[in-house]
């Protein structure tokens, strides 16, 4: 076996035809990461000039030493344990000569209770892949638990299977006249402003995403117009006020349990609408332009859509815009023939965490939960890695 750098078409053709291939191994996806300070190595593994595997490696200096990362890869025939051994040995030799001290990999291996998984896992360990453990939170390079919404069923069935609490939030967003739009990079400020404190991506990073992914990227945003929202809320309030007056008059003529219950419900709704009206009035005075409530960038690869980046306006989270947006995205991609939507990682659903709200939001859409094996590390230059670890240890000592 030998390694050489490969071109875009060689890489993407192999990834496209591999059963575990995903957007994370593609040329386009990794090219965007250059804007985050990485160098990229696109490597092919050959036996008798036949391509047997690929690795898209992001390389970055850590404390002066070069270290690599592979997201949901490498790719090869994971049923061929001898091939994996050759792959690992050749990779160590190749990267070691480039003074890359090691690589962290989130392999595309699904954790399951089976002999096949156990054999593969044990073989990786025997070939010097160090396993970081079965983490339950977001400590890994990629989330160990991933939520994927299947679009195979009819849209009406997908909606039926949503949790009741989610349906109520979506209904509230619709009642508040939240609107969803599809746009392009000309309005990149919307998602940049909503994610800059969390992701720290520059505007150039977003522009590079549009350039590299071309026709396989979609950008959506949800908004309200404060003036229109105020007028809608007024109409709802006055309509319910009329209904409440009617029920008051009816009670003077006919006081029964049914009428009393209707009156109590109307009182509650009227109070809620009154509070909404006060808030809508204040909002209309403060904001003269449209308010961007939520944003999302979707990447498409083969039959799958990936919710790559999302943001929302925390000041207006009560509009439930991101809940409505995701449902509209499900409908949109269902109509496009997409088979599934990756909506990102969650923490272990069997453990409590500080990300309970995130979990509840995603699980309410009734996704399939994929559990991966987690991160591995492969040391590729023992001498330099030893120096790196000692340097890190000393740094930590002096921090005490």
| 392 has a pLDDT exceeding 80 | no
So what's the pLDDT on residue 391? 80
Mark whether 170 and 300 lie in a shared domain: yes
Ordered DSSP codes for 295-328: EEEEEEETTEEEEEEEEE-GGGGGG-HHHHHHHH
Mark whether 221 and 254 lie in a shared domain: no
Q: pLDDT tens digits for 316-357? A: 999 999 999 999 999 999 999 999 999 999 999 999 889 999
- Largest Cα separation within the chain, whole Å, is 94
Parent domain of 302 = 145-225+290-371
Q: pLDDT tens digits for 141-158? A: 899 999 999 999 999 999
Q: Which of 77, 97, 96 is nearest to 87 (CA)?
A: 77
Burial 327-337 (b: 16+ CB within 10 A, else e): bbbbebbbeee
So what's the pLDDT on residue 254? 81
- Mean pLDDT, rounded, of the chain: 94
So what's the pLDDT on residue 253? 85
| 45 has a pLDDT exceeding 90 | yes
CATH number of 85's domain: 3.40.630.30
> Percentage of residues in the chain with pLDDT exceeding 70?
98
Compute the average pLDDT of residues 187-204.
95
Mark whether 184 and 235 lie in a shared domain: no
Number of domains in the chain: 3
Mark whether 6 and 111 lie in a shared domain: yes
| 398 has a pLDDT exceeding 80 | no
Compute the average pLDDT of residues 1-24.
97
Compute the average pLDDT of residues 205-210.
97
Compute the average pLDDT of residues 81-100.
96
For 27-94, what is the HEC assignment?
Answer: HHHHHHHHHHCCEEEEEEEEECCEEEEEEEEEEEEECCEEEEEEECCCECCCCCHHHHHHHHHHHHHH
So what's the pLDDT on residue 353? 86
Compute the average pLDDT of residues 176-185.
95
Mark whether 10 and 130 lie in a shared domain: yes
Q: pLDDT tens digits for 18-37? A: 999 999 999 999 999 999 99
Mark whether 17 and 115 lie in a shared domain: yes
Assign 199 to helix, strand or coil: helix
Mark whether 31 and 124 lie in a shared domain: yes
| 397 has a pLDDT exceeding 70 | no
Mark whether 218 and 249 lie in a shared domain: no
Compute the average pLDDT of residues 72-95.
96
Mark whether 195 and 244 lie in a shared domain: no
Q: Are 143 and 134 in contact (CB under 8 A)?
A: no
């Amino acid at each position: 076996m030998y390694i050489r750098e490969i071109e875009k078409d060689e890489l993407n053709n192999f990834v496209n035809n591999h059963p575990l291939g995903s957007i994370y191994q593609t040329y386009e996806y990794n090219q965007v990461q250059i804007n985050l300070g990485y160098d990229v190595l696109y490597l092919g593994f050959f036996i008798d000039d036949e391509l047997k595997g690929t690795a898209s490696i992001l390389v970055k200096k850590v404390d002066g030493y070069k270290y690599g990362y592979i997201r949901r890869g490498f790719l090869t025939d994971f049923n061929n344990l001898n091939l994996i051994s050759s792959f690992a040995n050749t990779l160590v030799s190749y990267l070691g000569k480039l003074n890359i001290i090691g690589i962290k990999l989130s392999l595309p291996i699904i954790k399951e209770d089976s002999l096949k998984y156990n054999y593969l896992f044990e073989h990786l360990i025997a070939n010097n892949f160090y396993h970081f453990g079965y983490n339950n939170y977001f400590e890994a390079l990629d989330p160990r638990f991933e939520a994927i919404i299947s679009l195979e069923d009819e849209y009406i069935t997908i909606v039926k299977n949503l949790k009741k609490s989610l349906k109520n939030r979506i209904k509230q967003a619709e009642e508040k006249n939240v609107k969803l739009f599809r746009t392009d990079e000309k309005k990149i400020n919307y998602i940049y402003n909503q994610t800059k404190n969390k992701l720290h991506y520059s505007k150039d990073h977003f522009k590079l995403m549009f350039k590299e992914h071309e026709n396989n990227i979609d950008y959506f945003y949800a908004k309200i117009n404060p003036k229109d929202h105020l007028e809608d809320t007024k109409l709802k309030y006055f309509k319910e006020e009329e209904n409440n007056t009617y029920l008051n008059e009816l009670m003077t003529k006919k006081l029964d349990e049914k009428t009393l219950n209707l009156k109590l419900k109307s009182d509650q709704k009227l109070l809620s609408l009154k509070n909404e009206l006060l808030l809508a009035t204040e909002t209309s005075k403060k904001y003269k332009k449209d308010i961007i409530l939520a944003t999302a960038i979707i990447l498409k690869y083969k039959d799958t859509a990936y919710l790559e980046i999302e943001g929302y306006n925390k000041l207006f989270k009560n509009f439930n815009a991101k809940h409505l947006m995701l449902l509209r995205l499900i409908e949109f991609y269902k109509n496009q023939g997409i088979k599934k939507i990756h909506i990102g990682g969650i923490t272990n659903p069997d453990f409590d965490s500080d990300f309970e709200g995130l979990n509840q939001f995603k699980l309410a859409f009734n996704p399939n939960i994929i559990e991966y094996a987690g991160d591995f590390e492969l040391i590729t230059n023992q001498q330099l890695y030893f120096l790196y670890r000692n340097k890190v240890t000393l740094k930590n000592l002096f921090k005490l």
